[in-house]
Amino acid sequence: MILLQLITDGLLLGAVYALFSSGLTLIWGMMNVINFAHGDFVMLAMYVAFFAFTLLKLGPAVFVPLAAIVLFGFGVLVYAGLVRYVMRGPMLAQIISTFGLALVMQYTALWVFSANFVSLPNTLVGGVYDVGGIRVSAARLLAGATALALTLGMHLLLTRTDLGSRMLAVSEDRVAAALVGIRPDPMQALAWGLGAASTGVAGALIALFFYVSPGVGDAFTLIAFVTVCLGGFGSVPGALLAGLAIGVIESLSAYWLGPAIKDIAVYGLFVAVLWVRPQGLLGRA
């Protein structure tokens, strides 16, 4: 029974990992740029949720979509103001620019929000369900279910709509995409907007049960990176599978090996998988 409990906890958290990681994989897939500030986007979304509640008294039904909208705009802004320019530069410039963005975001947060850990009241989405002996908190259930639905939604958007088809076309062959009449710029801005919006939703959901601080994003950047590598760069289903797997491994190893060791288990497995499949679980070679 404890095993089922741990797996359930892991899957619910893993779905949230999958959501913000699929944002990272979307951005990478569209323009081969790695967003090293991805976890800090999550951090920003968590603060949006926190202040929406404490200052404006808004509930999760409002602040989750609000965080998505704010982060969508922020993502487009980062693309238009930074990424579009460094993409013309060498690879190193691209890496350093988003890495620099991460630092700027963290220290700005430190300056504006202070280094204090803050959190939403854990009664905001209160209650615990007991399903056949497995205890699930309402907050985590809401987070997991929403994240799962939106990750699948992003996959459907990419594979079932003309807009998604155009985005994938740009990611596959920019020249051919231009030839059929697709302007790459709006598609790439959209990828940044959607990628950031995924961190918006994920961050606001995580804020329901996790503390917020300016440095909280680092852990999420690392998780997103491992999830995307494991699932295969550019693959949303891969990110979903890998996100869920990482959630479960974390949960199991935290219980059996201790919370301090759980990261070692995750990264150990990550290295082992890439040893066998360097392209990731669902990536193409």
Partner 1 sequence: MSGPLLRVSHLAVHYGDLVGVADVSFEVSEGAAVALLGSNGAGKTTTLNALAGLVRPAAGSIEWRGERIDGAPPHAVVGRGIALSPEGWRLFVMQSVEQNLRLGATPLADRSRLAPLLDRVFTLFPRLAERRRQLAGTLSGGERQMLAVGRALMSDPKLLMLDEPSLGLAPAVVDAMYETLAKLRAEGLTLLVAEQSMELALEIADTASVMQTGRTVLSGTAREIADSPVLHRAYLGAAL
Q: Which is nearer to partner 1, 135 or 183 (CB)?
A: 183
The Cα–Cα gap between 224 and 218 comes to 10
The DSSP code sequence of 173-184 is -HHHHHHTT--H
The amino acid present at 152, given as its one-letter code, is L
Q: Which is nearer to partner 1, 14 or 29 (CB)?
A: 29
Residues 237-266 that bind partner 1 (CB under 8 A): none
Q: Does 114 bind partner 1 (CB under 8 A)?
A: no
Q: How far is CA 50 from the centre of its chain?
A: 18
Stretch that binds partner 1, among 58-66, 164-172, 222-230, 274-282 (CB under 8 A): 164-172
The Cα–Cα gap between 76 and 190 comes to 7
Q: Which is nearer to partner 1, 112 or 175 (CB)?
A: 175
Q: Which is nearer to partner 1, 217 or 234 (CB)?
A: 234
Whole-number minimum distance, CB 183 to partner 1, in Å?
A: 5
Stretch that binds partner 1, among 175-183, 198-206, 239-247, 256-264 (CB under 8 A): 175-183
The DSSP code sequence of 47-104 is HHHHHHHHTT---HHHHHHHHHHHHHHHHHHHIIIIIHHHTTS-HHHHHHHHHHHHHH
Q: Which is nearer to partner 1, 157 or 169 (CB)?
A: 169
> Which residue, 49, 65, 70, is CA-closest to 121?
49
The Cα–Cα gap between 130 and 117 comes to 30
CB 184 within 8 A of CB 178: yes
The amino acid present at 53, given as its one-letter code, is F
The dihedral of CA 94, 98, 100, 104: what is its sign? positive
3, 132, 133, 162: which one binds partner 1 (CB under 8 A):
162
59, 172, 261, 278: which one binds partner 1 (CB under 8 A):
172
Q: Which is nearer to partner 1, 61 or 179 (CB)?
A: 179
Q: Does 176 bind partner 1 (CB under 8 A)?
A: yes
The Cα–Cα gap between 253 and 7 comes to 11
1, 55, 180, 260: which one binds partner 1 (CB under 8 A):
180
The footprint of partner 1 on this chain (CB under 8 A) covers a number of residues equal to 16
Q: Does 179 bind partner 1 (CB under 8 A)?
A: yes
Q: Does 166 bind partner 1 (CB under 8 A)?
A: yes
Per CB under 8 A, residues contacting partner 1 are 162, 165-166, 168-169, 172-173, 175-183
